[in-house]
């Protein structure tokens, strides 16, 4: 199994960015994908995840909710994270993770976090003024 992030780089504040997480070796029918970030000197934090079973998105950070979008291209086995209105504090390494999805109807960000199995190596994003 591999999760490979790409799309990071140097961007100006106020701009937008699309990050990609290309997945191999697992099925989106069995695993959900989520995005995380780790800013310099800080702990890794969750951003959001997508429950493919019922098509719902769960946000870990309400402050980012208005600025991020997750989408999936099944044909390319790729999950995207779009970030709008970038801020200096968005500077971080961005990671995707795969979490096993069981058959339970109830799901949440906590459900995702508890069942993470695979991580990508991250893609760095630097926001400049």
What confidence category does residue 8 fall into, taking pLDDT thresholds of 50, 70 and 90?
very high
What confidence category does residue 68 fall into, taking pLDDT thresholds of 50, 70 and 90?
very high
pLDDT for 18: 98
What confidence category does residue 63 fall into, taking pLDDT thresholds of 50, 70 and 90?
confident
Q: Is the pLDDT of residue 114 over 80?
A: yes
Average pLDDT rounded to a whole number, residues 63-78: 93
pLDDT for 2: 98
SS3 category, 104: coil
Q: Is the pLDDT of residue 61 over 80?
A: no
Could you tell me if 88 and 129 are in contact, meaning their C-beta atoms sit under 8 angstroms apart? yes
State the DSSP string of 59-82. Answer: ES-TTTGGGEEEEEEGGGTEEEEE
Average pLDDT rounded to a whole number, residues 97-102: 96
pLDDT for 64: 85
Give the residue carrying structure tokens 């800080």.
42
Could you tell me if 33 and 79 are in contact, meaning their C-beta atoms sit under 8 angstroms apart? yes
Joined together, the tokens standing for residue 83 give 């970030």
């Amino acid at each position: 199994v591999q999760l490979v992030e790409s799309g990071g780089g140097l961007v100006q504040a106020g701009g937008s960015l699309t990050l990609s997480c290309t997945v191999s070796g697992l099925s989106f029918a069995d695993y959900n994908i989520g995005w995380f970030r780790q800013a310099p000197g800080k702990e890794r934090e969750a951003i959001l995840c997508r429950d493919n079973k019922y098509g719902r998105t769960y946000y870990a950070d309400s402050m980012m909710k208005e600025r991020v979008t997750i989408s999936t291209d099944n044909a390319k086995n790729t999950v995207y994270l779009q970030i709008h209105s970038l801020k200096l504090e968005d500077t971080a390494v961005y990671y995707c993770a795969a979490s096993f999805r069981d058959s339970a109807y109830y799901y949440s960000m906590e459900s995702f976090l508890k069942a993470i199995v695979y991580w990508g190596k991250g893609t760095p994003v630097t926001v400049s003024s």
